[in-house]
Structure 1
Amino acid sequence: MSLLRLSLTDFRNHAVAELIAAPGLVALYGDNGAGKTNILEAISLLAPGRGLRRAPLSEMVRDGAGGGFAIFAEVEAGADLPPVALGTGVEAAQPGRRLVRINSAGAAASALGEWIAVLWLTPAMDRLFVDTAGNRRRFLDRLVLALDPRHAQHGNRYEAAMRARGKLLADLPAADPQWLASLEAQMAEHGAAMDAARQKTLAALSAELAEQPDAPFARPRLALVDSDGAVRATPWEAEALRALYAERRRIDAAAGRATAGPHRDDLLAEHALSGRAAARCSTGEQKAMLLSLILAHSDCVARARGSRPVLLLDEVAAHLDPSRRAALYERIAAQGGQAWLTGTEAALFADMPGTVTRFRIAGGRIAAG
């Protein structure tokens, strides 16, 4: 998967911008605040989800614009397929509603996942291993989504049924038991599907990571754990989940939330070589493990879908020493596909191997360079 052309209109600090890129490495360099990360964010919005910043749509509209923005891309989706046109944005009349078009036809945001997978690593993710369980769970779900575009639908339906169940539980004991059972059955169906997809993704990731060397990027060992920290060795079955929700109605009513289930699971990571919990490793080790994880996931997607995802690596090069930076470039160039990298200096990208497309970004203006 590669972006052949990317066009932005009134997105963040870019009034009108167009980038023509080739498969391989794409280097974006310029001063802080020039708009480099904004370009990566625009690319991330071509996949399902809220993008790499998870920002409200209203924040993405350029200051002084008319209330809307547009992102358009031509994507090389496969060697034997013609480029596909993907577009997303908002209109001034409906600033809170995201619009999606695929080959000029309206589509749901979830349909984007059939055509493109996008993985990213940003400075904000550096704290993943010491962050909240909710943020790690969202990170894992993004990894799953790149392998299984249906994962978002199961997640949305699970959340909707859980919210409806919560409202009914607030009226216990007067709540309709049949309606509660129906909602719990929906949660169980979609929760089991979510959990199976997570377990399958972690198994694939673990297999890829096991093939990687311990240097130059430390390998993490991964597991899914429940809210009590116990490792989840087998996926949830729908019937077991349904029984769990039914048993915990009074507990959940008192707590004001569903206290058990796939929505409470967490991603556990430890340094594969030392066995130390990732949260207790040094900052450098945590960054290395995160980078190793993203690269292994790119391999998983390529193996499962037959085409490599688009990689977005924001300010990664600046935090690596020259030998690790060179190793990173060699690896992603050898993998194939397309990777977009940002940095403040052109020198960070001077020794990139293979085909390299370079852009200098300054004040929302883009120049090939």
Structure 2
Amino acid sequence: MSDPVPVALTRLALTDFRNYNATSVELNSRMVAFVGDNGAGKTNILEAISFLSAGRGLRRATLSDIARADGSGGWAVSAILDGEFGETRIGTGLTAGEPGRRVRIDSEEARSSEALLEYLRVLWLVPSMDGLFTGSASDRRKFLDRLVLSLNPSHGRMVASFEKALRQRNRLLSEGGTPEYLDAIEAQVAELGTAVALARSETVSLLAKTLEAQKQLGLPFPSAEIHLQGAFETATIGMSASDREDCYRDLLVEGRFRDRAAGRTLDGPHRSDLYVVHSEKQMPAAQASTGEQKALLIGLVLAHADLTSSISGMTPILLLDEVAAHLDPGRREALFTRLEVLGGQVFMTGTDENLFKDLPSAAQIFEVANGGIALS
């Protein structure tokens, strides 16, 4: 297997994005840190980079809320990317009054943000994910679907279509739709749901193997074991894709009366959960200490970055928001070393420049203040 293609941003520009009027930064390192006080806009920079990929960005914010308060009502993010296709200019943004964001690649408008996945994969770890293991199953499914998306660019569209079909079925049930209409929509739900479930299952299986291999590296982070679990997984274990689809369709038909009474569909992969175990202690991650949960999550993200590089054939861009501040010096140094070995471009944030003293000498450290970004 050939080595993955290195991918890196060499320039980033923001216009009317959050607290930034118009600012740009030249990038010449694979290790980049943004340092500044709380509220200075460090995370806003990471969020801007996250929009250079498919989806809703790392905050999942309403697009209009991202626009600068005293700006035009729209916003834009653009970058120059060095990757598989040489130098590529990519950009995205919102025009005031329009419903969705536009994407341009080398001055040509793309049909959707999914087109960006051909050029780069962006992964992230942010403080809002700290409660992943103790939060809702819905949050863990969204986390898992983001992991799948970096390996399977069509997954986001598949999940959206599945959720749309579920809503249509629920509406038909509530409005007393005929059996013929229900048969038709349930066939769609079963086909789409099975595809979503299989993509998740394959990603979990691949990531579990990567986590096992990572365990042999002796990193100072606890190892995780991961499993996809739920009633749908239990009912369809060991089945072929076609048999899973048939089984799901039968479950939907049998559950019509119950689902009509409940007002929602109670069977399917939309109720699955990502179950994570602290490997060394053989305990659910949800029962681990706060520090252990953070370390488990870092290990998961590192393994996923490694897997993404292997499957996609390109090194991912990794966004780590306030991660260094939660690690002791030994773990922080180990993290930086591992990130360097992985070879992808990494953007980090912190309030203290000393947090990044163990970065390689070629790293860039920027000061963020008053809506500006300056090299330290």
Mapped to 2, the partners of 1:247 and 1:110 lie a distance apart of 36
Secondary structure of 1:116's aligned partner: coil
**Partner amino acid for 1:65?**
G
Question: Which residue does the alignment assign to 1:121?
Answer: 125
CA RMSD in angstroms, aligned pairs only: 1.6
**Is residue 99 of structure 1 aligned with residue 106 of structure 2?**
no
Question: Which residue does the alignment assign to 2:94?
Answer: 90
Question: Which residue does the alignment assign to 1:4?
Answer: 10
Mapped to 2, the partners of 1:317 and 1:203 lie a distance apart of 29
Deviations 1:84-104 (A, max 9, x none): 22211111232x321111222
Deviations 1:193-218 (A, max 9, x none): 11111111111111111012364011
Secondary structure of 1:127's aligned partner: coil
Please report the TM-score for the alignment, with normalisation by the length of structure 1: 0.95
**Is residue 153 of structure 1 aligned with residue 157 of structure 2?**
yes
8 Å contact from structure 2 (residues 155, 199) kept in 1: yes
Mapped to 2, the partners of 1:2 and 1:331 lie a distance apart of 17
Select 2:282's aligned residue among 275, 278, 289. Answer: 275
Matches within 5 A, 1:22-41: 22-41=28-47
Secondary structure of 2:100's aligned partner: strand
Mapped to 2, the partners of 1:152 and 1:234 lie a distance apart of 25
Quote the offset at 1:228 in angstroms. 8.9
Quote the offset at 1:335 in angstroms. 1.2
**Partner amino acid for 1:130?**
T
8 Å contact from structure 1 (residues 223, 232) kept in 2: no
Mapped to 2, the partners of 1:233 and 1:49 lie a distance apart of 30
Secondary structure of 1:130's aligned partner: coil
8 Å contact from structure 1 (residues 9, 15) kept in 2: yes
8 Å contact from structure 2 (residues 120, 314) kept in 1: no
Mapped to 1, the partners of 2:236 and 2:301 lie a distance apart of 22
Secondary structure of 2:267's aligned partner: coil
Matches within 5 A, 1:1-369: 1-78=7-84, 81-94=85-98, 96-107=99-110, 108-172=112-176, 175-213=177-215, 215-226=219-230, 233-234=237-238, 237-353=244-360, 355-369=362-376
Structure 1: stretches of 5+ with no match in the other structure: none
Shift of the 181–132 alpha-carbon distance from structure 1 to 2, 3 Å rule, reads same
Deviates more, 1:211-220 or 1:181-190: 211-220
**Partner amino acid for 2:229?**
V
Secondary structure of 1:97's aligned partner: coil
Shift of the 354–49 alpha-carbon distance from structure 1 to 2, 3 Å rule, reads same
Mapped to 2, the partners of 1:192 and 1:270 lie a distance apart of 25
Question: Which residue does the alignment assign to 2:3?
Answer: none
Quote the offset at 1:234 in angstroms. 4.4
Quote the offset at 1:250 in angstroms. 1.2
Quote the offset at 1:46 in angstroms. 1.1
Shift of the 129–97 alpha-carbon distance from structure 1 to 2, 3 Å rule, reads same
Please report the TM-score for the alignment, with normalisation by the length of structure 2: 0.93
Mapped to 1, the partners of 2:315 and 2:161 lie a distance apart of 29
Deviations 1:48-104 (A, max 9, x none): 1111111111210001001100011122232xx22222211111232x321111222
8 Å contact from structure 2 (residues 236, 247) kept in 1: no
Secondary structure of 1:6's aligned partner: strand
Secondary structure of 1:100's aligned partner: strand
Quote the offset at 1:7 in angstroms. 0.7
**Partner amino acid for 2:192?**
H
Structure 2: stretches of 5+ with no match in the other structure: 1-6
Quote the offset at 1:43 in angstroms. 0.6
Quote the offset at 1:355 in angstroms. 2.9
Secondary structure of 2:340's aligned partner: helix
Mapped to 1, the partners of 2:235 and 2:361 lie a distance apart of 42
8 Å contact from structure 1 (residues 146, 301) kept in 2: yes
8 Å contact from structure 1 (residues 49, 109) kept in 2: yes
Mapped to 2, the partners of 1:91 and 1:152 lie a distance apart of 23
8 Å contact from structure 1 (residues 223, 231) kept in 2: no
Quote the offset at 1:230 in angstroms. 5.7
8 Å contact from structure 1 (residues 170, 253) kept in 2: yes
Mapped to 2, the partners of 1:307 and 1:53 lie a distance apart of 24
> What's the % identity of the aligned pairs?
45
Shift of the 335–17 alpha-carbon distance from structure 1 to 2, 3 Å rule, reads same
Quote the offset at 1:327 in angstroms. 0.3
Quote the offset at 1:315 in angstroms. 0.2
Shift of the 120–232 alpha-carbon distance from structure 1 to 2, 3 Å rule, reads farther
Secondary structure of 2:319's aligned partner: strand
Quote the offset at 1:239 in angstroms. 1.8
8 Å contact from structure 2 (residues 21, 371) kept in 1: yes
Question: Which residue does the alignment assign to 2:4?
Answer: none
Quote the offset at 1:233 in angstroms. 4.8
Secondary structure of 1:212's aligned partner: helix
8 Å contact from structure 1 (residues 227, 266) kept in 2: no
